[in-house]
A and B are shown apart, each in its own frame.
Chain A
Amino acid sequence: MLILQAERDALLKPLLAVTGIVERRHTLPILSNVLIEKKGGQVGFLATDLEIQITTASADELPGEDFRLTTSAKKLQDILRAIPDKATVTLEQLDGRLTLKAGKSRFNLQTLPAEDFPLLSVGSASDASFTLPQRELKRLISQVQFAMAVQDIRYYLNGLLMQTDGNQVKLIATDGHRLAFASADVEATLPKAEVILPRKTILELYKLLQDSDDEINIEVLANQVRFSFGSTVIISKVVDGKFPDYNRVIPLDNDKIFLIERLTFLHALQRAAILANEKFRGVRLVLAPGKMSILCTNSEQEEAEEELEIAYQGGELEIGFNINYLLDVLTNLPADTLQMAFGDSNRSTLVTIPDYSNFKYIVMPMRI
């Protein structure tokens, strides 16, 4: 029985939007499937890993019967990708099998009953809800996401803290070595709420956000957060844990301060990084009045040295860092000029943007 006929991209685009979260291996076989549901003219796609659930719908109305089925997300995606992009695809369903035809190609896929597909039960009404342009949220996430931990035993670090308070939304990420903070004003009066969004949710959301002024709605639910934008809805569980009070790690009395052009500093570090030790990634910064030297050495005793003129009149300082932590912030910082504030070689360094309080980056040094 013919159930659907559409151009390839009308199916592939929404399919790709949901399949990013599908795990390759899972104890529940149906979780490697995607749920496809046609109601009226709309075809909806849904995937989940039991922590995150993404739904989206085809952009256009499509002809055909109503149906609900699940089939392998990966295989369907690979097939659709491999056929020519303007080709017309037809789907037929018979005896629990799905047949996909395009031109002279024919694929016969297994299905599993849609009733067995586990759906997240959506948490109760939202405490905090606000709207941002997608571009704005994407920009905020890009300023902090690089500082999230990866598979740390402290679960609360494997994600991003989202705080709402009044008309402010704050995002904070830390892996214990550095911490990134970004905030934005929203047109709402929000209750005080905080949730830790899992790393995977953030990476997926970031991928799906468009560089446009179209809005995204964010709702904090009980133990969940819902992101709605365009026809896509992401529902994610939040990390169960208490995020540390990040204010206590922001150094307030660092007195070795200067301004520096972001790109000048970034390029000098990128050149020096070529000879940084591959394992430890150490870089030494040597401050003296009027100049900063950047030194890298690797295990083969090769050396790189850069010298930058800086408007600095404070005391001398030699301090070590993991160069990647500096490159990360310089790459993602939303400004041309930044302020470096050093304390001493054992204490954290603060990176900020002059006259702008919506971004902060704190990085711990390496002991040289």
Chain B
Amino acid sequence: MGVSGPDTIQRPPARARKAIVGAIRAAAQPIAEPVVAILLALLVGAVGITLCSGLLAGHKNFDVGLPAAAYLALLGGVASPDGIASTLNYSTPLILAGLGVGLGFKAGLFNIGGRGQFLFGTVGAMAVATAVGVSQSSYITVPLALLAGAAFGAAAGFIPGLLKATSGAHEVVTTIMLNYVFVFVTYWAISGPLSLPNAHQPITADVTNRNAALPIILGQDGHAGILLALVAVPIIWFLLYRTTLGFEIRSAGANPDAARYGGMRTNRLIVLTMSIAGLMSGLAGATVLMGVVHQIEPGYDTTVGFDAITVALLGRSNPVGILFSGLLLGAMRAGSQTMQVQAGVPAELVDALQAIILVFLVVNALRHWLDRRAARRGSTPAVDGGAAQAAEAVA
């Protein structure tokens, strides 16, 4: 076997090194873009904070150290058990709703209705808690309430799904419209049927008094909802990648014509996917009600709907990615109050950062995709502005 000494001795290590580098590169590639986007956004945010400190907030000079203090306070929450508990509390609904939005993206559907579905799920959970919780123990009430939250959320997602499947009404517009409808439905429900009979101002019952509060499992406030979220991640992942239904959902999003040829009933898939997405957001609402706020007044609202879109985009519609981006955004939300108090930087910075991250993410992704396309010359340009394309480009 003609062995030439020095070459053979060199070849195996060189090959092994290349293999390791290749593996690292393969693993790193999908997370590189979100990470780059986040870092760039933090940089831009730092510049913004510094500028504002000099121009606006009454500090008379540009405080270059302010961003560092702000970010430290923002993300420093993870240092203490209470901080971790707070992060997990914030992350729970973000992960749950983000999974729903991400599932929609995979199917080519743009579900902006997270806010309405969340609120309607809250109403459902509250209704069950009020109705059942007086007489039943928490072993019965808690699961029932969660179930109701999920069911109400699913119903909220079913409507736009059905409309799209039957009449082609675009789900972006119908879900946005339904957001407002559900805001008003929730307002009415809280001030009407769900409000306590003897209260001066309309206010619902406290779920703790109705055996419907989620148990605390970490620190002072860390509720069990996070377990739900952590379980949901592998479930959704399994659904998407290990079942035939998940294959159909992904196919319908990637190429509805080929999916049709493969025998998949795309209309049914649209309704099903929107319902599941609504279910997740409704469940998110239930966990927040039963784990954090416990009692709600008219005007109760949430930013989870839009946050979930960020989480899904950052996580590239992948359940594991969504877990991490949900945790990140949850940590930021949890730390935002601390940041406002300690560093004097308003909590709304988190929203601003979200948007900047997304800008960098989408611009980066497209450039990447364009490079890949140029290298593969002759392929057809994408002219479809659909969500699946966007999600794929981001993914």
A is bound by B: no
Residues on A facing B (Cβ under 8 Å): none
